[in-house]
A and B are shown apart, each in its own frame.
Chain A
Amino acid sequence: MINIRDKGAEIWENWNRPTRVIFVLSTITIIALLPFAAAWGPTSFLDTPITSFKNVLVYPVGMFVLMALGLNIVVGKSGLLDLGYVAFFAIGAYSQAILSTSFGWSTWEALPVGIGLAMVSGVLLGLPALRLRGDYLAIITLGFGEIVRIVILNSRKVTGGPDGIAGIKNPPAIFGLEFDLFHPEHFFWLVGVMVLLVIWMVRRFTVRRPGRAWEAIRQDEDVASLMGVNTLVYKLWSFVIGAAVGGAGGVLYASKVMVISPDMFKFEVSVLILACVVFGGIGNIWGVVLGASLLAYIPDRIRFISDARQVIFGLVLIIMMNLRPDGLLPRKKREKISEKRKK
């Protein structure tokens, strides 16, 4: 099986600096122009029926890329299976909703609070849960995701219960860019900037101490701790950073859709985000971006077969995993070997 990721990395290595800069800038430009692709003849096939393409690019596509990158820090980098990632998304979204409707805070003011609360809950969950291994962590996080939803559902006074919260304000304009119903492309750019920030952050971490500690933990936790890695602390860090990204995503999401309710934060969302990560290539940023873009986009593109699209989604997951168990763009071979089941 050809490894596109290694090929790509090879080509990248051989480029000189100006070539790289031009490549990155043109890629960013092309992506920034994406919202207009549906209106332009040659790329109009990208258009999504029923929901407008520009909005689909913001949610689910952009948001899922953002959150898949966040979850990838947890699942891909340090190898912790989190099945309740949606909880952090919900915490971010409700922070924004409550601060906006009850206290009149703007998105930019609510953003640090949403991120902070998500991180705090990440610590609260992580401290007991991260002492457990593998699949136990999976069930605990799954339970946590459900609990956050149940608590929201049953705290009618604060969260509006099943009715949710309406009247959340859009973010105030920056540099003259209005964020409202009529400018979904501005939201898309905003999400794009956040995605770039997360990618930059993850890459910084990966080449430094935390990255190496996570890699060691993922390959063999016992050996890592024998090497003097404080595994709990580093696992907690990856968990909390992942939570922060989820929280940021939630804040943004709430200020985009303006109305939120508990049924937007079901277990299925956690599963979908996880599927994005695995589908694209666990641990590889570019794979995750690609996987999330496709998995978020496809159901909307095939909306014309409305009812059956989730069925097809299930089939795609089965077939793709069977054909490419390491995802579309797997991480480097060197890192992969130890993840195979040891028996």
Chain B
Amino acid sequence: MNFSVVTSQFASLVLQGVALGLIYSLIALGYTMVYGVLRLINFANSEVFMVGTFTVLFIQVTVLGHAVTREPMHGWPLILALALSLIAAMGVCALLAMLVEVVAYRRLRAKGANRLASLISAIGVSIFLSESWRIFTDSRPHAGPRLLEKWSFGEFHGANFRIDTMMAIFASLIIYMVLLRFVNGSRLGKAIRAVSMSEENSLLMGINLNRVVTLTFAIGGLTTGAAAFFYITIYENTVFNVGFNLGIAAFTAAILGGIGNLRGAFFGGLALGLTEQFASAIIGSQWKAVTVFIVLVFVLLIKPSGIFGEAVQQTRT
């Protein structure tokens, strides 16, 4: 136990916790969107994230030809390269998530099958993806190139406001705001909310259920893809099973905040990122998962449906 770090590194821990937490939030949004509509854990979302990280590498190394050892880029080329890899990751993840829905969920949904069957078929997709990638990449971790020179805006009580961290924080905030606006304000967003409250009544409104479900998976894929991009930008490496730990953390975050609830996923991610950072600093990083788990149990015992509650819990139990 080392409590002195809390005071000496407070600002730094907060900053890193927020950055990591927002990456969790983006993945958690992927879980929460799907859960809100289908009441199912999209087990394959962690592999969607993994594929996203490799997409970023593929764009940066293979398409743009930026070798891992090369000097960082500058100016317009840099902005274009970053934008391209972000868009590619989001796009590929959205497509993959839509594919996951078709392969793992659609038929079972049409049959009215039990929830566990969907869970197992999603686990099947997850195993298939991560194992294919294991063979594909020969189990080796892959380093990402440094496109972005990691200059700092400055320091504040030991917290280093590095460009990549700040970019991840601001961009995640923007993505969250846009998503919130979309779900609450737009016509399709309303359809998503309607389906999450009642499938039958949504059909009576003339909502095409399959299309809404596909859209939900696509949005989950978009945010997860964005998370993959920021993850690579900050941590600069990935491996075939990178999705496992991040997926569990993000799912925990979604539950912590109240699953099915966008606000819950967002703040749940933040809370989790901060908890992890402080727990690692105080009692050692090998125990952070244990701390997170204990926090989760306590939160759920006090508030059984998460900090912000399930968005639509009353309508369906």
* Chain A positions near chain B (C-beta within 8 angstroms): 75, 81, 128-129, 131-133, 135-136, 138-140, 142-144, 146-147, 150-151, 153-154, 222, 267, 271, 274-275, 278-279, 282, 307-308, 310-311, 313-318, 321-322, 325-326, 336, 339-343
Partner of A278, one of B120, B129, B297: B120
User: B222 within 8 Å of A by Cβ?
Assistant: no
| Minimal beta-carbon separation of B38 from chain A (angstroms) | 9
Nearest residue in A to B38 (C-beta to C-beta)?
A341
A140 close to B114 (CB less than 8 A): no
Complex Cα distance, B200 from A322, in Å, reads 23
Cβ-defined partner of A314 (8 Å) among B117, B125, B316, B317: B125
Q: Which residue in B103, B132, B244, B300 is a CB contact (below 8 Å) of A136?
A: B300
Known: A132-B304, A136-B300. A278 touches B128 (CB 8 A): no
Contacts of A136 in B (CB 8 A): 255, 300, 304-305
Q: Which residues of B contact A (CB under 8 A)?
A: 35, 39, 41, 103-104, 107-108, 111-121, 123-129, 131-132, 134-135, 198-200, 244, 248, 251-252, 255, 259, 286-287, 289-290, 292-293, 296-297, 300-301, 304-305, 316-317
B117 and A325 form a contact (CB under 8 A): yes
**Minimum CB–CB distance for A106 against chain B, Å:** 33
State whether A135 and B41 are in contact (beta carbons under 8 Å apart), knowing that A150-B287, A325-B113, A343-B198 are contacts in the complex.
yes
Given contacts A128-B301, A140-B296, 10 further A-B contacts (CB under 8 A): A138-B41, A147-B293, A274-B120, A314-B128, A317-B121, A321-B113, A321-B117, A321-B120, A325-B111, A343-B316
Query: How many Å from the CB of A139 to the closest CB on chain B?
Result: 5
CB < 8 Å neighbour of B286 from A150, A310, A325: A150
Tell me the nearest residue of chain A to B255, going by C-beta: A139
Query: How many angstroms between the C-alpha atoms of A342 and B317 in the bound complex?
Result: 8
Pick from B113, B124, B244, B255: contact of A317, CB below 8 A.
Answer: B124
Task: Return chain B residues, CB-CB under 8 Å to A340.
Answer: 112-114
A97 shortest CB reach to chain B, Å: 21
Q: With A and B bound together, what is the CA distance between A339 and B115 in angstroms? A: 8
Q: Which residues of chain A are near B304, meaning CB under 8 Å?
A: 131-133, 136
Report Cα–Cα, A227/B82, bound state, in Å.
61
Chain B binding site: helix, strand, loop or mixed by DSSP?
helix
> Is the beta-carbon distance between A326 and B125 smaller than 8 angstroms?
no
Taking a contact as CB atoms under 8 Å apart, the answer to whether A129 and B297 are in contact is yes
- Whether B244 contacts A278 by the Cβ 8 Å rule is no
Most chain B CB atoms below 10 A, which of A132, A139, A275, A279: A139
Compute how far the CA of A122 lies from the CA of B103 in the bound complex, rounded to whole angstroms.
35
Residue of B124, B244, B293 ringed by the most chain A CB atoms within 10 A: B124
Q: Are A154 and B128 in contact (CB under 8 A)?
A: no
Q: Is the CB of B125 within 8 A of A318?
A: yes
Q: How far is the CB of B138 from chain A (nearest CB, A)?
A: 10
Min C-beta distance of A330 to chain B, whole Å: 10
10 cross-chain pairs, A with B, having the tightest CB-CB distances, nearest first:
A317-B124, A314-B128, A325-B113, A314-B127, A325-B117, A321-B121, A318-B124, A143-B293, A310-B131, A278-B120
